[in-house]
Chain A
């Protein structure tokens, strides 16, 4: 009997641990992102970290953070684009490289995801914000936002160029 107990108890303990780990909440969706435009008080093309936490979309950057309540987001849409690997001032100067070097550098591009949101401030004013992030992250952020009460006019993946009449009809239904 003692031997059975000795086997049974650790087994029970092990299973309990496994079950509790399985039930823990998933980590909040978080990714590196660039705020292209839209957030109040944040400069254009600011790099930072984007995550969905405590019912809000939170963008943290070197000088602070900006939160948008998910419930105030009336549209969230994902898309895709690409950008030069060497960007900014160096990228601009590199265009002048001789013997077609600038053109060759232009061919080096990375794909990225875009997430676009529209939300209302407490006065009812409509805001829009655009973020770019590594490929595959936008859908995770979008799903996390939808789970927290955000709305979308387009539910399918990578469909930001969907029929605009369909978008406007969906928005009208939301209102």
Chain B
């Protein structure tokens, strides 16, 4: 009886351990799709602010900083702007749609004087899709300036974080083992 019980428990354990990663993968369908996606170029669409009152300079600064950071750190050989006709011929193109979901304009003066108040923060919903509109990755990323710098510096913070995420998820030379570990996280 003992060997049979031990064998049953062992097999149950093995089965459970094998199923766990599969279950985790099902919980993160976007990450799974993203992990297998190949991308050689990215097109960045203009920042949208449908329900948030966002000053024009913040909208443009978000867009321009995002493009600059993508060119520097995003890991894509080609970065296209919104409306660029050359993007149509790019293979394995990823399109980044961004919508501002939260914005709090702080005060540089208040930051200087109090050092704790007056922070500026922006929250942006980033949606990476392929040409057909299939969502590859969706994340909410924020940008903040808490102490030193003008309010527009928050857009720089957001751009750096987004470029870092993109480099991690869409580097074309990524191997499969890295992809698997990304799913498990």
Contacts and interface: CB of A to CB of B under 8 A. Distances in A.
Interface in A57-96: 75, 77, 79, 81-84, 92, 95
A128 B83 contact: no
Contacts of A129: 60, 64
Given A125-B82, A126-B82, 7 more contacts: A82-B109, A103-B112, A116-B56, A118-B46, A125-B80, A126-B46, A165-B50
B12 interface: no
Nearest to B85: A124
Interface string B14-51: 00000000000000000000000000000000101111
Given A38-B64, A161-B53, A128 B59 contact: yes
Contact of A125 (B57, B59, B83, B113): B83
B101 to A, nearest CB: 12
B113 A106 contact: yes
Interface residues of B, number: 32
A157 interface: no
A126 B55 contact: no
Contact of B150 (A38, A83, A162): A83
A36 interface: yes
Interface in B141-155: 148, 150-152
B53 A125 contact: no
27 contacts: A36-B57, A36-B152, A37-B64, A77-B56, A81-B150, A92-B148, A95-B148, A103-B112, A107-B109, A109-B109, A123-B85, A124-B85, A125-B84, A126-B81, A126-B82, A127-B64, A128-B60, A129-B60, A129-B64, A130-B60, A130-B61, A130-B64, A160-B56, A161-B54, A163-B53, A164-B49, A164-B54
A86 B112 CA distance: 13
Contact of A79 (B48, B50, B57): B57
Contact of A106 (B56, B86, B112, B152): B112
Contact of B84 (A102, A124, A130): A124
What are the nearest 4 A-B pairs in CB distance? A128-B60, A106-B112, A125-B81, A125-B84
Nearest to A109: B109
A58 to B, nearest CB: 19
B157 interface: no
Contacts of A107: 109, 113
Contacts of A47: none
B96 to A, nearest CB: 13
B127 interface: no
Interface centre among B54, B57, B85, B108 (most CB of A within 10 A): B57
